[in-house]
A and B are shown apart, each in its own frame.
Chain A
Amino acid sequence: MRQLIFACCVGLLPFAANAVEPDEMLTDPVLEQRAREISKDLRCVVCQNQDIDSSNAGVARDLRLLVRERLVTGDTDTEVIEYIRARYGDYVLLKPPLEPATYALWFAPIAFVLIGVFVGGGVLMSRRKQEAFEDLGAEDENTVSEILRRNEEGDAS
């Protein structure tokens, strides 16, 4: 009975649906792990917001096999990624490279934060300045004291 309950519990555990089929996997666990990591950084060109590691598209499978093949022949991770990038362009990289064409992409968020801080700070500073009172000047000062004096005397006019 206890075993049955245990089996049911295990059955209920959510397993991540993997696109990587057993026949694709490498026998060497270290290489396989590297292949998985590389696959997670490569975009599937069919279903464009998925990495090839989780995509079931045919091309994604071919690319996974290619990644593994290159690793087995002794390529480094960067070499494998460069190999695929040479054929599919920067577009296959889920993380765009930092280069002049992508400066806007990488630095715009920082720039916007800085602009926000700058403008917000500027507005707050100028508001604080307004609160500080300035002297009224001799003429106005006289007028005001005249009005106050009249008020005290009860002359409402």
Chain B
Amino acid sequence: MKRLIAGLPFIAAVIFGGFFLWGLNPDRDPNEIPSVFISQPAPKFDLEAIPGLETPGLSRSDLVGNERPVVVNVFASWCVPCRAEHAVLTRFVEREGIRLFGINYKDKPADAVKWLNDLGNPYERIGSDLSGRTGIEWGLSGVPETFIVDGDGTVLFRYVGPVVGPEAVERFTEALKQAGALPSGAAS
């Protein structure tokens, strides 16, 4: 009994030490919000196309029944990091052959059209989410966010923030590979 009491401070120290060690991990992002959608079916939504753009709209049914997992990117013309991410996503589409769908979050159609005309349009389909309601359905905390959705409509991966910079691109590529979203034989 006495030995147990004598051991208590040591046990407490080990527990706290372990906690601090975990907290010191530089890869840990304390602001990261765990997504409830990982391994869950993607939410139901049905979005119209952006008026003035030829790209068709996006709904949940477009994410289902695809041969390979697809990428859903939430973007907006007013979002500065999206501009940087746009180049990365375009490269993924052109070089790796991923299928990219877009959700245009709370954006004025005219601004979105201009933005896509200026930078190019790598999206196969774009849904215009004017009210931000679809964003809530996806549990969005901000733009940009990028999801990988499996052929049966299951969300496989979520990336919060822009996929910009070598580390982010590497993480995203790894996720694409694991999901099998890259076509076989693509130059990687």
Contact = CB atoms under 8 A, between A and B. Distances in A.
Question: Do the two chains bind?
Answer: yes
Interface of A: 45-46, 48, 58-59, 62-63, 66, 84, 86-89, 91, 115, 118-119, 122
Contacts of B139: 87-89
Interface of B: 5, 8, 12, 31, 33-36, 43, 106, 131-133, 135-142
B141 A62 contact: no
A59 B142 contact: yes
A58 B141 CA distance: 10
A80 B106 CA distance: 23
A62 B33 contact: no
Nearest to A116: B8
Contacts, number: 47
A45 B145 CA distance: 14
A45 B33 contact: yes
A66 B5 CA distance: 53
Q: Which 5 A-B pairs have the closest CB atoms?
A: A45-B141, A89-B36, A87-B139, A62-B132, A88-B139
Contacts of A63: 136
A89 B136 contact: no
Q: B-side binding surface: helix, strand, loop or mixed?
A: loop
Contacts of B31: 48
A46 B161 CA distance: 12
Contact of A115 (B8, B33, B133): B8
Contacts of B137: 87
Contact of A122 (B5, B33, B140): B5
Given A59-B135, A62-B133, A66-B136, A46 B141 contact: yes
23 contacts: A45-B142, A46-B141, A46-B142, A48-B31, A48-B33, A59-B135, A59-B140, A62-B132, A62-B133, A62-B136, A66-B133, A84-B136, A87-B36, A87-B139, A88-B33, A88-B139, A89-B33, A89-B34, A89-B35, A91-B33, A91-B34, A115-B8, A122-B5
